[in-house]
Amino acid sequence: MKPILSASLLDAKTRFRIQIKHAVAIGPGKADVLQAISETGSLAESGRRLGMSYQRVWSLVRAMNNDFVEPLVSTQRGGVAGGGAALTPLGKKTLTIYRTIEHNAERAVAKQVPKLLALIRPEAGGEQ
């Protein structure tokens, strides 16, 4: 397992990805999809909220459902009763674990970045 962390002071956002071998098991995009599905109960609405196509959301859900020991999202096809999507118990647990990792990473970065900034010249990074 190879965690990858990227942080930007410009947007004060830490992006944390848990990577296993060459495939990303879960990262910020997939976590956001899980969150949106949890809140909306819809793949299409999740895509609209996240600025993703339905096909992209469905592709991420399919990948997660295939990568984990059990599906993270259950879906019901449309029709008279309408379709829908919901997180499975494993999907809820996975999202909670990921958000905890993300929160802990943000706290660690916030504590250490000022120390790193103190070591950088004020004029560094400008045009040369």
The pTM (predicted TM-score) of the whole model is 0.78
Q: ∠ CA 22-58-97 to the nearest 5 degrees?
A: 60
What's the confidence (pLDDT) of residue 87? Answer: 97
SS (H, E, C) 65-128: HHHCCCCCEEEECCCCCCCEEEECHHHHHHHHHHHHHHHHHHHHHHHHHHHHHCCCCCCCCCCC
Give 51-71 pLDDT, tens digit per residue: 999 999 999 999 999 999 999
What confidence score (pLDDT) does residue 8 get? 53
Q: 18 falls in which pLDDT band (50, 70, 90)?
A: confident
Question: What pLDDT, on a 0 to 100 scale, did the predictor assign at position 80?
Answer: 58
Domains of the chain, each with CATH number or no CATH:
2-76+83-117 (1.10.10.10)
For residues 18 and 27, what is the distance between their CA atoms, to the nearest angstrom? 6
pLDDT at 116: 83
- At 11, the pLDDT band (50, 70, 90 cuts) reads low
DSSP 48: H
Render pLDDT for 86-115 as a digit per residue (tens, 0 to 9). Answer: 999 999 999 999 999 989 988 888 888 888
Are the C-beta atoms of residues 14 and 102 closer than 8 Å to each other? yes
CA atoms within 13 A on the CB side of 87: 20
